[in-house]
Structure 1
Amino acid sequence: MTRQAPAAKPALQPELGLIEGRFGRIWNEAERSYVVRTLAEAGYGFYHYGPKADRSLRREWRKSHDAAQAESLARLSAECRGAGMRFGMAITPVGSTHPFDDAARADLTRRVAELDAIGIDDLAVLFDDLRGDMPELAERQAEVVNFCAGLTRATRVYTCPTYYSDDPVLDLVFADRPADYLGKLGRLLDPAVQVYWTGEEVCAKEIGPAHLERVAGELGRKVCLWDNWPVNDGARMSRFLHLRAFTGRPAGIAEHVSGHAINPAIQAHLGCIPALTLPMVYAQGSDYAYGAAFAAAARRLLGDEFAVMLQQDLPALQDVGYERLGVRGGRLRARYEGIDHPAAREILHWLGGADLMTDDEVQTQ
């Protein structure tokens, strides 16, 4: 009798989520509703809303959302909760740490109450992509986060440090990180606060257990991954459609993180294809194959014929880049013009030069 090899044991799966924390245009309600439904059906457990272009959460965080915006966000909260997902909002209180004075406390008290009124399960207080050359940076940031945690009715609180990766590009752009920044932040933050972290790089090619263990040791807690895939914002990345399945995230990292959130692509429908492959990484363990995962996700969302076409065009759309397509751009337009599907329209939109970002756009969001 021939014995069959035992099936691979499924790995643990951390809580999966989406952190809408990218630059670029804000999705409309229909796009966001599609993403919520699709990810909820795939087993995602939370949705954190915090696009950089929402000025009332970032550059003008002291300014309340207007009535129409607040109503739209309340509908999003209800939709997420109705789909079985936790809903959170992320505020980047620019300038609140230096000084963290009575005015900052009053504005934070008011804004956190307004976010609570919209209906949040999670509150995120973010400091990503802000200058780091300020005295007692970790101390002041921890003070602001703990203050907000004491105000909110949300049952979970998150933060993202200014230095949210080992990547030296952060030191180049935002000034050299202070000595023992992560250690100080971890010691001063309330132990219940979860910390977002992107990995060894801002857009990490691989995220492994050894790295995560080292960072957890510094922070005194497991990190929640802010995974910058399939995000494609910014002047450079927006020239490419990020479509391929997840790679470089072994299922074994599940026991080393408190959660795993993805930062989405500008293209809502297309970005759900790689998003659907992340649960496969954890469910399939050593049996995971990223090509097969892409094919399965694409067929599920696009149908067989469209999925095959997209797989054939992956090198052109993801690797060549908008400016270098040349005559291939016209051929791609001809292929997708006949497909009546939102994802096909996103491809045509991109081929037409829309959603291409500039450095100025990033710097002003």
Structure 2
Amino acid sequence: MMPELGLIEGRFGRIWTEAERGHVVQTLAAAGYGFYHYGPKADRALRRAWRERHDPEQTAMLGRLSAHVRAAGMRFGIALTPIGSTHPFDDEARAALARRVADLDAIGIDDLAVLFDDLRGDMPDLAARQADVVNFCAGLTRATRVYTCPTYYSDDPVLDLVFGDRPAGYLAELGRRLDPAVRVYWTGEEVCSRAIDPAHVERVAQELGRPVCLWDNYPVNDGARMSRFLHLRAFTGRSAAIAPHVSGHAINPAIQAHLGCIPALTLAAAYRQGEAYAYGAAFAEAARQVLGAAFAQMLQQDLPALQDVGLERLGSRGERLRARYASIDHPAAREILRWLDGDDLMTDDEVQTQ
């Protein structure tokens, strides 16, 4: 059994080009993915400046993306992070939300996501105010599915450290107050979960009063630390046994659009193959599909250097890698070269301002 698979473009860092995004849509649709949610943190009109509509060029791009995703047989969604709308949730906030939801509806969306991830959570009546905002938007949109992501989207105590202690009973109260049709994103026991097990998602579902939609933070590699590594290996720790316990399973992608398709394909294989899944063989097959046989074999040889060692510790190996991949005329090889040049590295300041 395979749950509905999707991609939530919800990372920090460089926004993909239209061509990169188009390649990802086609590749994942062919692998059986069912939805694509657009919400990069660097798109200010969806986050820091959410009250302002996209400019005409951005609006046209999103319209083309919607048409492309739908033509590929996937549902298209846009994710809005309405910073400051909950405190106070007043007439001005309602008017701004109504205006922006109408803007997104006009682009053409099947799904609307209202996100509160990576925001301060030490505010009074947090769950109640967030539920009010989501339910308000759900009552306005023409989208047929609505999602939200809580501020505390994992059990991971790092969220309390960074965003303030979570209110007592936060998740259960949010679940009680949300419209029963709203789907809730959840990353697992950790922000970047090493494993996601049926017992865990069952427990969270009981607390929320609905199954979760997984927001899987792999192969994402944003932020100052993770951008030093390429996340290429196949999925592990995601047993097909979780399928009956979730409403969907979305991945948050890597900065490298073409390379990130390799692990994305292995998630579909993990569900499809069940107990027969072997992650090494899954990587080899996915890499062959994305890169071709010779390039895939070369990448498999270099996995430890690219995913485990990290850019700053490559030393002279970095120049050897550059020589190897400079001879290959492929977008994924150019992504490796760009990473070796440090062009996709991120800083803490960049994260904090997106």
TM-score, normalisation: structure 1:
0.97
Aligned pairs (5 A) from 1:100-115: 100-115=89-104
Question: Which amino acid is 1:48 matched to?
Answer: H
Does 2:142 correspond to 1:153?
yes
- The structure 1 segments of at least 4 consecutive aligned residues displaced by more than 6 Å after TM superposition are none
Query: Which whole-Å CA distance do the structure 2 matches of 1:341 and 1:288 have between them?
Result: 28
| 2:313 corresponds to | 324
SS state at 2:139 partner:
helix
Query: Which whole-Å CA distance do the structure 1 matches of 2:342 and 2:128 have between them?
Result: 44
**Deviation (angstroms), 1:179:** 0.3
| 1:27 corresponds to | 16
Question: Which amino acid is 1:199 matched to?
Answer: G
Query: Which whole-Å CA distance do the structure 2 matches of 1:140 and 1:364 have between them?
Result: 24
Does 2:61 correspond to 1:72?
yes
| 1:7 corresponds to | none
Query: Which whole-Å CA distance do the structure 2 matches of 1:263 and 1:237 have between them?
Result: 13
**Deviation (angstroms), 1:184:** 0.2
SS state at 1:314 partner:
helix
**Deviation (angstroms), 1:226:** 0.1
TM-superposition CA deviations, 1:257-288 (whole Å, max 9, x none)? 00000000000000000000011011100000
| 2:107 corresponds to | 118
Of 265, 269, 284, the residue aligned with 2:254 is: 265
**Deviation (angstroms), 1:245:** 0.3
Aligned pairs (5 A) from 1:1-365: 12-365=1-354
Question: Which amino acid is 2:4 matched to?
Answer: E
Fraction of identical pairs, as percent: 81
SS state at 2:299 partner:
helix
Query: Which whole-Å CA distance do the structure 2 matches of 1:360 and 1:64 have between them?
Result: 25
**Uncovered stretches (5+) of structure 1, i.e. residues with no partner:** 1-11
SS state at 1:157 partner:
strand
Query: Which whole-Å CA distance do the structure 2 matches of 1:239 and 1:109 have between them?
Result: 40
Query: Which whole-Å CA distance do the structure 2 matches of 1:353 and 1:181 have between them?
Result: 40
**Deviation (angstroms), 1:236:** 0.2
Query: Which whole-Å CA distance do the structure 2 matches of 1:218 and 1:107 have between them?
Result: 31
TM-score, normalisation: structure 2:
1.00
**Uncovered stretches (5+) of structure 2, i.e. residues with no partner:** none
**Deviation (angstroms), 1:227:** 0.2
